[in-house]
Chains A and B, each alone.
Chain A
C-alpha cells in the first residue's frame, strides 16, 4: 500500500473567515462600520445571535438589526494551547471567550491584550473591531476601561 508515500498534509496557512451570505451580510456590514449589531425581535424585543429568520422565543418573523452596547462579561473561556490550525499557531497560547453581552446574547470572541492567567468568568469586556479583509471585520473584546 502506498499510503505512506502519498500522505499529504494540506493544512491551510490562511485565516479561516466567514463566508458572506444573505443571513449574515448585515452583521458583517455593520462590523465593517465599527458597529456590533444583532437581530432584535420586533414584538418581544429580545436580541438573538447567530442570525436566524425567526425569533427563538416568540417565533415572530419580524426583526430589525439593532446596535449592541458591545459591553458584557466573560461567561466562559478557554486557553488554546495547541494543537490548532497553522493560521493561529504563532499566537499560542491564546484565549477564546464566550461573552454574555448586556443585551442577553452570547458571542464567541477573544479578549485582546489580556494574558492567559488574567482571563476569568465575570470579567467586564467591551467590543473592539479588527478589520481583516475589505469585507470582513472580526469583533474582538478588551477589558472595560
Chain B
C-alpha cells in the first residue's frame, strides 16, 4: 500500500518546448531533441546548465553523453528511462517526480524526439527513424517470434486484434471509432501546430482505407517528425519560475498485460490490464474521482484504444466506451469528457504521447486553443496496451 511518502504534490511541469511538427522535418533526432530542450528551458526561464536530472523514453536515441555536451556540461546526477514504448509516455513524469520527491534531483529534463515520418528513415538500423517494424531482423529471439512469422508484424496489427475482441464482446462500431477521430480532428483544426487540419466527416472516416480490420487509416495515428521536452522541478521552486506550474498531483505505474505477449494479454482478466491497475493507484493517491477530471489525454495511437482507455480509467463502464464517445462525447465543448484537445496523435502529431502531455500543461495554464472552462485537473495516460503509467496534473 502507498506510504505517506509519495510523489503527491511534490513536482511540477514548469517548461514545455517543441519543434515544429511535420511529416518530414529533415532533421536528425539529436538535432530535434536539442531544439525542443532549449525551447522548454526558455519557456521555464532556466538555463540548460541547471538541468540535473534526465528521464528519457526507452526508445530514445539521444543519450546522456550526447546531451551533456550540448547542455553546457551540467552536473547530471540522476538519469533513468521508462520501458515499454508508448506505455512509458506518462511514466517519465512519474519517474521525474520520484527523483524530485526523493531529493535525488531538482530540475529534471524529460523529452522525446522522433523522426517517424514515412520519409524519415535513415540507414538500415531500426534506431534511425522511420518505421521500426520495417527493419525487423529475420531471426526473432523475443516474444515477437510467436506472431511476426504468422504475418502479424506491427503494433497496429496487434492493436487491430485487441480492438476486434472489444467489438466481439461489446459491439463497438465503426461509428464509435469515427466519433473519436472526428472529435480529435476538430480539436486539431483549432491548433496551428497540428499536422492534420482538414475537416473530417463520418463518411470520410468510413471511406478511408482499411489497414487491418477493424482499423482504417483514419483510426491510426499519423506518422510525423518532431520532438517535445519538459522541465520538471519541485513545487517549491516552481512558484518562482516564469510559467504557471502544472503540479503533478499524482502519478502511478503498473505492469499488467502486454500486446507483444498477445497470449498472456487474453490470459488475464481485464482488471489486471496495466491501465486498470494504474488507475486504481492513481485516483487513490490523488484523492479524486474520474468525474472530477476536466480534460483527459489518452495515448491515441488508435481510435479504438481511446475507447478502451475511457473504460480502463473509469470514465465509462466496461464495454461502454463507444457510446461514451458517441455524438461529440470527447469534444472540448459540450462533450462528456474533453479529450486530446490538441488533436492528439491522430491529428496533431505522433511524438509518443509527449505532445499530448504538452497540451495537458496548456490546459492547466489556460492557454489551449481548445481551452476547457474551469479545467483544474487533467489526466495524462500512457499507451494502454503496455505496462504503463499515468499522471494527474492540477493548477497550483
Q: Which residues of A contact B (CB under 8 A)?
A: 1, 3, 6-12, 14-19, 21, 24, 49-50, 56, 75-85, 88, 91, 94, 96, 98, 100, 105-110, 116, 121, 132, 136, 138, 140
Contacts and interface: CB of A to CB of B under 8 A. Distances in A.
Interface of B: 26, 119, 121-124, 131, 133-141, 143, 145-154, 157, 160-162, 164-165, 168, 209-214, 261-264, 266-267
Contacts of B136: 12, 16, 85
A136 to B, nearest CB: 8
Contact of A18 (B135, B140, B213): B140
Q: Is the interface of A mostly helix, strand, loop or mixed?
A: loop
A16 B134 CA distance: 11
B150 A109 contact: yes
Contact of A77 (B134, B139, B153, B164): B164
Contact of A19 (B140, B154, B165): B140
A100 B211 CA distance: 24
Contact of B209 (A7, A21, A81, A96): A81
Most buried by B among A12, A83, A121: A83
A73 to B, nearest CB: 12
Contacts of B209: 81
A48 to B, nearest CB: 8
Contact of B213 (A19, A79, A82, A107): A79
B148 A16 contact: yes
Nearest 7 Cβ contacts at the A-B interface: A18-B145, A10-B124, A76-B165, A78-B160, A108-B147, A106-B263, A19-B141
Most buried by A among B121, B149, B151: B151
A88 to B, nearest CB: 5
Contact of B145 (A19, A76, A79): A19
Most buried by B among A9, A14, A75, A81: A81
A32 to B, nearest CB: 14
Given A12-B138, A78-B164, A81-B212, A105 B157 contact: no
B329 to A, nearest CB: 25
B213 A76 contact: no
B157 A96 contact: yes
A17 B264 contact: no
A14 B153 CA distance: 13
Contacts of B122: 3, 6-8
A15 B116 CA distance: 24
A9 B121 contact: yes
Contacts of A10: 124, 135
A72 to B, nearest CB: 12
18 contacts: A3-B122, A9-B121, A12-B137, A15-B138, A18-B139, A19-B141, A50-B264, A76-B161, A78-B157, A80-B152, A84-B157, A105-B263, A105-B267, A106-B262, A106-B267, A108-B263, A116-B213, A138-B149
